[in-house]
Structure 1
Amino acid sequence: MIHQKYVDEYIQDYKSGKILLNKERIALIEFVEQKIYTREDIYFHDEMIEQCVQYIEKWYFPLLPFQKFIISFVFLFFSANNRNVFKKFLIMMGRGGGKNGLISGVSNFLQTPFHNINDYNISIVANSEEQAKTSFDEIYLTIERNPQLKQFFKNTKTQIVGKQTNAIIQYRTSNGNTKDGLRDGAVVFDEIHQYESNKDVKVHISGLGKRPNPREFYIGTDGYVREGFIDSLKEKASKVLNGKTRFNALFPFICKLDDEQEVNDPKNWEKANPMFSLPMCAYAENLFDEVLEQFEDLQDDPSNREEFMTKRMNLPVSDTERSVATYEELLATKREVGDVEGFQCIGGLDFASIRDFAAVGLLFKQEEEYFWLTHSFVRKEFVDNFYGYSRPRESVNGKRQFAPIKEWEEKGFLTVLDEPSINPQHIVDWFLEKAYHHSIKKIVADNFRMDILRPLFENAGLEVLVLKNPRAIDSLLAPRIESAFANHRVRFGDNQMMRWYTNNVLRKLKKDGNVEYLKKEEVRRKTDGFKAFEYAMYLGDELDSGNIDDYLDIANSFF
């Protein structure tokens, strides 16, 4: 058995009830006790850990137990070759938790002779120069304010160089112009919630491995980009903690609320922000007062709730008064649709605008679960203007895109049409092709452009139910649709675009108590795929009843 005093102290703080931890950190402690402490082939470099702690506390700020806990694993090594055990570190917590301050101190220490690696260059990467300079400027100002440190570092506005080790710290923005960077020993990725993929990350870590003990630090608070880079890191963290991947694939220190209801008791906030563990330092007390004031403001202006929960509590949620499904419910739709060859289904079609998007889909039902296969047709001019479809990928630079149309096109979720308006024949042809593989009982659509579409469908031998007043079905179907999402009975498979459509829907509760489905933003936040799904759901519960024709007669008379 191995041990480390700062790790032991943190574990004891939890077990004694001194601090309150979220599920991920509880799992991390169990992981340390079962997968780290029990190994005989690794060791904590106690001397280097102590030197790092003392360096930061002397030149930067007093460290809290959770920060010393993290530092300990930065200097965990294999006994056989003295290589670091963890190469990747994920540090996530609510805004104000001290992520940047900790990484500033650790990065500066790695430049020193205490670390004992020459030319251990460090890049601090973020999507904007302002954010990339956060830790850089903290290091720069610390050196400028201390004449003793200035003897050991060459300090400029663009580089901080350790005179004895020639280790360079510099900041970088996420763009294609900085591909050929330093031969880094470590890379810090800040504000990781803004990355849609690992494309830009791979560029910046390509130089690692040319120096001993390379490290990658991923720090940030959660954000609004789903199924992007940050979600892949969280998934890897879960696999590490659950023993489903290599034990040292990632060191995850994730602080967040376990449930959104916990926000109502400020005692729970330390789950998301470890600065709030008692006794709080002066900085933490001021921060707590600021967060408390923001929380109280939500009573009068609940519109900021999603921002507060995401940024302060590190728990992305969707307000059910504004969204059809929560974040967790949307994630549950990722389950595979499976083989539905030859199955009976209902078609859904939203063709509200022939100049931007049109969506089609097939709804299947097995027992109590709904399976939705969908496709979209989009006009090139529209997606060029509003989503940058034709821009070179290098110009995106890893930043958040409003909708990654090019990626969705490559995955087959949509077809980009270079034509003045969407030709309705594309819609009919899609359903005809699917009719070879599935039994399409009926296609449900709104009445827009049906004077053009109906003859095309009839000539193709496809039956269409036209909803003359499609908004009338929102309140009718809301309980069925929202219950299906809440009980994880909806499957979209790997179709990210369908989750994007659904997340763009504004659930409005009218004064008469009825629900209306609108758009959260009129132009760019498209909802066509969801509306097609909703139309199909109108007949969804009849798929396994065997009396669909009788129901269609009733439906036609109603509309």
Structure 2
Amino acid sequence: MIRNKHVDEYINQYKQGKIILNKERIDLINHLEKNILTRNDVFFDEIKIENCIKFSEKWYFPLQPFQKFIIAFVFLFKKQKDEMTNEDVISPYFKQFFITLGRGGGKNGLISALTNFFLTPYHGIKKYDVSVVANSEDQAKVSFKEVYDMITDNDLFIKKGRKAAPFRRTRTEIEGLETQSIFRFNTSNAETKDGGREGCVIFDEIHQYEDAQIVNVKRGGLGKVEHGRTIYIGTDGDVREGFMDGLKDRTLDLLSGEDTEDRLFPFYCKLDDKTEVDDPSAWEKANPMFHKPFSKYARNLYEEVYTEYKDLIRNPGNRSEFMTKRMNLPEEDLEKIIATREEVKATNRPFPELENKQCIGGLDYANIKDFAAVGLLFRDGEDYIWKTHSFVRKGFLDSVKLKPPIYEWEKDGLLTIVDEPSISEYYIAQWFDDMRQIYGLEKVIVDNYRIDLIRRAFEEYGIDYEVIRSPRSIHGLLAPRIETMFANNKIVFDNNPLMRWYTNNVAVKIKPDGNKEFIKKDEIRRKTDGFHAMLHALYRADDLLEVDLNDSLDFLNAISF
């Protein structure tokens, strides 16, 4: 087993009970000891590790054991033979780092020091450019400004009358002059941020990324400079089924042993259970700064977090924010959502055999100029099966930049993009007509506000329909059923990220009379048409008798009239 003193120190602190780790970090240590440190083709570059630590502590701040632990693995290398030249090829073993912990845990400070080190001859790679990407310019500039200020405060930049200095700095970029390595910041506009020739790309505030579009674009520049790395940092947020949830799932697959070949280094800090918030000694699981003995910084931070915690008694409405940002464990307000993230994920189960099964159709489209959703509701034992499709107008997509991967979903057959002034009612009628050739479609449920748009097409195709006269009134009626279906994992969407997106976009509004109403979290960018189409079909769910039309026809054919 290979060793490094900073890695040994951190692991021994855990094994001796001097620090408290959450399950994911315990699993990380087990993964490292079992699958990484035992390899004979990896090694720590001790010189770079020590130089990085000394550089950081000289120019920035004293590093904590967990920060030295992370730095050690930044400079863990893999050695292999080039098949053409038979020479040794050295590359970082971990090419991607995922660092997530409670707010104030020092992730940006660590990134600032590490980035600055990458620009220096101590790192030793020419033109090793670094970019930091975030959703807002202010956030993207956090680490940039910290490096800028350090260089300025210590008079380490080139200026008039000075022949030599380590750095050149402007308001938009910082250059290490000896290595010609440049540090820049970007906002997360994928259309204007083509991948360059970076050696390292850092993605900040990843909890706000709804998809991987900007990540894919910026990482496209990696590989042109040796020792390419990607670093993802952020505290959790309220975007579900987004990029960060995907990283968390990837982390759990790695640490559970499902995919141990993944060269991701996940440093994932959070409470193990929401009840631990009432035990301040457990807060160290979410924020590794809170290990004993406290540094001066950690003492001030702890006092601030403790004050916020005590304020929850007077302001319980702040609990969700506190759990998400300080404890890195999103606690969804069950009064305001349809289902938890885990309940929505549980809909990803394969459809049973549905051909010739009886079903009820559902339809919803708020505006014929953007989205329309259609679907079929089946019963299979205690499960409700929802098979759905959507139509989206191209002109709407061109005018409103939605974050989800709409065009990828079109390739997967989940939706159809219509390049017309509006979504014709005949697309909808045709879809239901096609479906009734395969399934036992009884009728389509549509709300009163849409029937004038669809009536003629349905009647021309001979499609039976039922109109809900007061669509909002059924929300309160169906709310208990829907909540129970999700809570007991009794609803199946198959692998349909579009339908999960629709569901996650629904907010629950409690009206003055106590009834619930299902509304959009965002009127423009968070569509809910697929959910409301399902809601309409559920209005007549009790009509489903699990009838198989083949069985019925066999029975009739057996009768001698």
Interval of TM-score (by shorter of Structure 1 and Structure 2):
0.7 to 0.9
Spell out, residue by residue over 1:136-188, the C-alpha distance to the aligned partner (whole angstroms, 9 max, x if none): 2211211222247876512312333334333332333444445363x332222
2:167 to 154, 159, 164: 154
Contact preservation (8 Å) 1:197, 1:228: yes
Question: Partner residue of 1:179?
Answer: 194
Percentage of pairs with the same residue? 53
Spell out, residue by residue over 1:469-498, the C-alpha distance to the aligned partner (whole angstroms, 9 max, x if none): 333433332222112212223222333332
Cα 1:411/1:305, change in 2 over 3 Å: farther
How far apart in 2 are the matches of 1:112 and 1:75?
A: 15
Question: Partner residue of 2:387?
Answer: 373
Cα 1:322/1:79, change in 2 over 3 Å: same
How far apart in 2 are the matches of 1:274 and 1:531?
A: 43
Cα 1:406/1:2, change in 2 over 3 Å: closer
- Relative to the length of structure 1, the TM-score reads 0.85
- Relative to the length of structure 2, the TM-score reads 0.84
Question: Partner residue of 2:27?
Answer: 27
How far apart in 2 are the matches of 1:244 and 1:74?
A: 23
Contact preservation (8 Å) 1:351, 1:448: no
Q: Which moved more, 1:145-154 or 1:477-486?
A: 145-154
Deviation for aligned residue 1:435: 0.5
Question: Partner residue of 2:42?
Answer: 42
How far apart in 2 are the matches of 1:148 and 1:301?
A: 47
Question: Partner residue of 1:17?
Answer: 17
How far apart in 1 are the matches of 2:485 and 2:380?
A: 13
1:200 to 176, 196, 214: 214
Deviation for aligned residue 1:108: 1.8
Contact preservation (8 Å) 1:43, 1:77: yes
How far apart in 1 are the matches of 2:128 and 2:362?
A: 58
Instruction: Say if 2:92 is the partner of 1:84.
Output: yes
Question: Partner residue of 1:502?
Answer: 503
Cα 1:140/1:371, change in 2 over 3 Å: same
Contact preservation (8 Å) 2:286, 2:326: yes
How far apart in 2 are the matches of 1:546 and 1:365?
A: 9
2:339 to 325, 339, 344: 325
Unaligned runs of 5+ in 1: 389-400, 549-559
Contact preservation (8 Å) 1:143, 1:153: no
How far apart in 1 are the matches of 2:411 and 2:312?
A: 41
Secondary structure of the corresponding residue to residue 168 of structure 1: strand
Instruction: Say if 2:351 is the partner of 1:337.
Output: yes
2:373 to 359, 368, 372: 359
Secondary structure of the corresponding residue to residue 83 of structure 1: strand
Deviation for aligned residue 1:528: 2.5
Secondary structure of the corresponding residue to residue 285 of structure 1: helix
Secondary structure of the corresponding residue to residue 43 of structure 2: strand
Contact preservation (8 Å) 1:335, 1:491: yes
Secondary structure of the corresponding residue to residue 529 of structure 1: helix
Contact preservation (8 Å) 1:140, 1:155: no
Q: Which moved more, 1:507-516 or 1:83-92?
A: 507-516
Deviation for aligned residue 1:73: 0.4
Secondary structure of the corresponding residue to residue 231 of structure 1: helix
2:289 to 257, 266, 275: 275
Question: Partner residue of 2:557?
Answer: none
2:112 to 104, 118, 123: 104
Question: Partner residue of 1:263?
Answer: 277
Instruction: Say if 2:24 is the partner of 1:8.
Output: no
Instruction: Say if 2:130 is the partner of 1:134.
Output: no
Secondary structure of the corresponding residue to residue 201 of structure 2: strand
Cα 1:85/1:381, change in 2 over 3 Å: closer
Cα 1:333/1:266, change in 2 over 3 Å: farther
Q: Which moved more, 1:329-338 or 1:508-517?
A: 508-517
Contact preservation (8 Å) 2:132, 2:201: yes
Cα 1:47/1:149, change in 2 over 3 Å: farther
Cα 1:342/1:167, change in 2 over 3 Å: same
Contact preservation (8 Å) 2:356, 2:548: no
Secondary structure of the corresponding residue to residue 92 of structure 2: coil
Question: Partner residue of 2:436?
Answer: 435
Question: Partner residue of 1:557?
Answer: none
Q: Which moved more, 1:404-413 or 1:184-193?
A: 404-413
Secondary structure of the corresponding residue to residue 259 of structure 2: coil
Count the aligned residue pairs: 534
Deviation for aligned residue 1:429: 2.0
Contact preservation (8 Å) 1:120, 1:166: yes
Q: Which runs of 4+ in 1 moved over 6 A?
A: 148-151
How far apart in 2 are the matches of 1:454 and 1:169?
A: 60
AA in 2 matched with 1:166: Q
Unaligned runs of 5+ in 2: 81-87, 159-163, 550-561
How far apart in 1 are the matches of 2:454 and 2:151?
A: 71
Question: Partner residue of 2:304?
Answer: 290
AA in 1 matched with 2:447: D
Instruction: Say if 2:103 is the partner of 1:95.
Output: yes
Question: Partner residue of 1:122?
Answer: 130
